Amino acid sequence: MANVANSRQGSAVSGVLALEREAHGLADRLPEILVDAQRIAQTVAHGLHGRRRSGPGETFWQFRQFQASDTLRQIDWRRSASSDHLFVREREWEAAHTVWMWSDLSQSMNFRSHLTPTTKRDRALIITLAAAELLVRGGERVAWLGLTAPTASRKATTRMAEAVLANESKSLEASQPPKVQLARFSGAIIVGDFLDPIEKTRAHIEALAADGAVGHLIQIVDPAEETLPYEGRTEFLSPNGGQRWVADRVQSLRAEYKDRMAAHRAEVAELTRRLGWSFLVHHTDRSPAEPLLSIIMRMQGGPGDRRWQAEESAPQTEARR
């Protein structure tokens, strides 16, 4: 019994030390990650998330021809005087919405295979902060779930990064977003690998969507996790190093592994479809601008618009090379 106790104690100490190393590593990389996020945001067309539809506001949007459903008070007589048609002046919709951001920074996200230059954690952070940068430029309020309050400040992404840095221990231990209910007309962007048992993922995502909030899940996957490209005798370690498993001929497990991976992903996709959320799969050997562009385009119309919703029940997966 003493040997077992000593073994467990040693495993716990090893896990704490590993967590401390990851925390220091994240702190060292965070400034560079923030710069990368801002650079990637600039590669996506500026203003893409603009509301660009008529509604309450002060900014002129466009003239359109008078329709039978319009009232005479809506006619712009000065514009109409220069034409044979009657025109209505429309203003651009300016009601800002709050978008809640969250990224899985747990130990399972600190994985990088030989097929990609970046860890899942770094890629998730870059996509999350870049999305926040673009949303703020579009006039929306953004916040990090559990860490920051909603803000439309141009320094929002910097404040988010600082909050993550100040709460490293909390962030590195959570593999799911906080169980909170978001307001009906708010949105969410949740980034992670979603490899937890589906019951756990379902409980957290359903809590966020309980009041009708609409959001997007971005699954970050290392290409090796997708294909299991290893051969021969292979050792697998748990994220904290406390568990070890050896496969003598790992290639013999490839077909079953892919089937289980596909089945698990289908369950996540079904969850988002039922809630009216969207689901996107991103591989870390691809450009982070790809999922960012896809998400921002889906959100172009705002939470009240159909385009905010998931457009198809199956997950959108990037084309493999």
- Give the relative orientation of helices 254-275 and 198-208 as an angle to the nearest 10 degrees: 20
Residue 45 is predicted with a pLDDT of 45
Residue stretches of the chain with pLDDT short of 70: 1-20, 22-24, 26-27, 43-61, 91-96, 240-241, 300-321
Q: What is the pLDDT of residues 45-87, one digit of tens each?
A: 444 444 445 554 445 557 788 888 888 888 888 888 888 889 8
Residue 95 is predicted with a pLDDT of 54
Residue 23 is predicted with a pLDDT of 66
- Measured CA to CA, the distance from residue 197 to residue 219 in angstroms comes to 14
Residue 6 is predicted with a pLDDT of 39
Residue 243 is predicted with a pLDDT of 83
- Measured CA to CA, the distance from residue 100 to residue 135 in angstroms comes to 11
Q: Is the dihedral of CA 117, 176, 146, 45 positive or negative?
A: positive
Residue spans per domain, the chain: 19-49+95-317, 60-91
| β-pairing verdict for 244-247 and 141-144 | unpaired
Residue 48 is predicted with a pLDDT of 46
Task: For tokens 């369950």, name the residue.
Answer: 267
HSE-up (13 A, CA, CB side) for residue 23: 16
- Measured CA to CA, the distance from residue 121 to residue 114 in angstroms comes to 16
- Nearest CA to 291 out of 154, 52, 111, 126 is that of 126
